[in-house]
Amino acid sequence: MIKFNYLLLLLLISGLATSQTVKVKTQQQRIKGESIDGFAVDVEGNKSDVTSSLTKYLKETGKVKFLTFDPLVITDPIFNGTVYPKKSIYAYTTESGNVVTAWLGIKANEWEQKDVAPINKQLQRMANEFGIRYNREKVQGQIDETQQALDAVDKQTLRFVNQGKDLATKLTNNELEKVKLQKALEANALENAVLKVKIENNKKAQDSVANAAVQIKKVKEVQLEKLRKIN
């Protein structure tokens, strides 16, 4: 029960977070030695989790290339059903304490001029959408953990309830057995007293028979003596 109380305390503390509003900001990021404009959003977590979530999200837009270092590169992106072959989107994550910044951007010189502004609008939308999705998934994960804890508590509660019923049944049976044993003990005590009386009566009967035997033997001796005197 101590472990459960500790777990519930942790869950309550983690659930005291205020509502999170996603704010997209414009931010420059150095990509391959070049500073380029893009859009960034801050989320709480660790870099590994955010990068993994961002990679999963970006797979919906294009092919993600995993390099040995940042940034992630999304090639042949698709927006509104239109494929942009041989074009790239760059994604980057940085960490400061428990805040991770997810950044999205393009190199304007890699795109046709007419596409730069519309694509940037899409990237701004994506940054906002990713921030919302990440926060929702994080809170949903906390909800799932809380539900698991609740299920565990319910399971333990049911176990203790069933254990209580079993113990109550055993106590009832024990009390019935106690009454039975008390009655048996009383009967035993009565039988003991009766047997003692019978033993005493038996001794008296034995003494009486023994006395009778002595008297009979005396009568027999008298008779034998009488028999000897007859001639």
* pLDDT tens digits, one per residue of 28-74: 998 878 899 999 999 999 999 999 999 999 999 999 986 656 689 99
Give the three-state DSSP class for 28.
strand
Q: What is the pLDDT of residue 21?
A: 86
C-beta separation of 112 from 123 below 8 A? no
Domains, in order of start, for the chain: 22-142 (3.30.310)
Q: What is the pLDDT of residue 16?
A: 47
Q: What is the pLDDT of residue 69?
A: 61
C-beta separation of 132 from 24 below 8 A? no
DSSP H helices, the chain, are: 2-14, 47-58, 113-229
- CA 35 from centre of chain: 49
Write the CB contacts of 67 (distance below 8 Å, at least 6 apart in sequence): 73
Q: What is the pLDDT of residue 230?
A: 87
Q: Which residues of the chain have pLDDT under 70?
A: 1-19, 66-70
CA dihedral 135→140→141→142, nearest 10 degrees, is 90
Q: What is the pLDDT of residue 221?
A: 87
Q: What is the pLDDT of residue 19?
A: 55
